[in-house]
Amino acid sequence: MHGVRILILILLAWSAEGLRAGDAGPSAAVTDRANLPEVLRWANDAEGGAPYIFHPPDHPDQLAGFEVELAEALCARLGCRSRFVQYNWANLIPGLRQGGNFDIVIAALERTPENLAQVAMSRPYFTFGQQLVTRASDTGLRSLGDLAGRRVGVLASTLSHRLVTRHAGIEARVYDENVNYFRDLELGRIDAVLTDSPIAEVHLRDRPALRRAGPTFAPSHYAIAVPTTATALLARIDEALGSLITDGTLERIYRRHGLWDATQAGLVTWNAEATGTPDGQPATTETRTAGATRGGAGSAWRYLPILLEAAVTTLWVTLASMTLAVAWGLALALARCHGPRLLRPLAVAYIEVFRGTPLLLQLYFIYFGLAQALGWRLSAGVAAVLTLGLNYAANEAENLRAGLEAVPRGQTEAALALGMSPALTLRRVLLPQALRISLPGMTNDLIALFKDSSIVSVIGLVELTKEFLIRSLDAGDYVGLGLLTAAIYLAMGHAASRAARALERRLRA
């Protein structure tokens, strides 16, 4: 019996040594479970869409996509359970660095110097390139060099975004997800889309009005992100990925989604030391100094001109929307207080609908829904002003109604007794006093509108908050850039308050 135990111990030791030396089959599980959680929480954004992660229409309660299958295969190889964590894509890296919400990120994060300066990244699990997409009728557009003076849709904080911004004369339209810029391209709102090749591959299958403009370029890789302190976990993930690649599991996953090609075969021989820099890209001065300057005390001031330019967008969207809101709100208030009997319930219904439904839903309905249902191809700026103006008109209608009802009724009776018409009484007696009474509430709404205007970034307008999010991801500085952005908002709000107080004084006189 003692000899049997010794034999078993020898066999176990030999097996462990063989696995460490690479003698085990490629489908073997990770040998060392040290530093591995029982449940591995991986983060992604389900809004990413096919082929990465999505809800199939026939099974809306399930998740599908090649990254979902990759996560499941990876956790099976690691010997732990998989748990998906929904997280906004633009905040995945900050969320990982902060810790507590999830353990790793599997979400098409590029293995670039910018990302490697903030998190640790595994060996690549997918090779992709940049694909320019245009309308089929625009046969003269073949590269970024042909798009000077044109509008190009890109996903925020991606390699596509950085490539477009480096080309002078191209107007970047930044989106939060990778579906709506194809719709805008079909509708003629933008002139091209620059995106990752797997995204283009999926969306061009059922969009005959669009075409590939030239071959893919700027090859890069997706990799799994882990905290910089999780070196043991990173080693286990690299080991598991290597086995998934060499035993063909990764190929089978990608073939199911129509993504396997000759470039993916190079994942087997990928070597970080051989490339020298991430993805073989030459190290630029910006890359070499990123770690030294990231988050520095004075680095935020470099972004002041960029933030001020974005603040201009915030300013004109806010002022134009407020002008529409006050004008339409006045009409609603008059209809409710002094209009014909049939108009009063309609005005009430409008106010309740726009106050009782989310602003984001209204924006999507006006920008995308009207284009789909009626063919109204509103520009992003027009849709933003229209949505915010119609929404805030409901608030201004109630402010002005309160002001009209606060004017003593005896003043109306006196004006009518003096021979003034109802219209003249309204214009000369009621409205000036109602406006003075309503002005403080309207000022509060104007300041709130400065902040709510950030919602227009979902349809491609880069306003102040969106620019802050983009630049803070690049710079890794949320404190300095955050304070600078807050100061700009405070300056705009304070100027609006001063102007409102000056108007109050004038009306009071």
| pLDDT at residue 463 in the model | 87
The answer to whether 198 and 128 have CB atoms below 8 angstroms apart is yes
Indicate if the pLDDT at residue 26 is higher than 80: no
pLDDT in tens, 323-341: 999 999 999 988 888 778 8
Q: Please provide the average confidence, as pLDDT, over all residues in the chain.
A: 82
- What mean pLDDT do residues 42-63 have? 84
| pLDDT at residue 8 in the model | 44
**Structural domains of the chain sorted by starting position, each given as residue range(s) with its CATH number in brackets:** 127-218 (3.40.190.10), 302-508 (1.10.3720.10)
| pLDDT at residue 36 in the model | 78
User: Tokens 């598991």 sit at which residue?
Assistant: 240
pLDDT in tens, 469-505: 777 766 667 788 889 999 999 999 889 888 888 887 7
Tokens (6 digits) for 382: 């027009």
Q: Of 163, 65, 162, which is closest to residue 108 (Cα–Cα)?
A: 65
Cα(172)–Cα(153) distance, integer angstroms: 6
| pLDDT band of 251, cuts 50, 70, 90 | very high
Indicate if the pLDDT at residue 233 is higher than 80: yes
Torsion (CA) 306, 467, 142, 286 in degrees, nearest 10: 60
Which amino acid is present at 162? R
| pLDDT at residue 92 in the model | 87
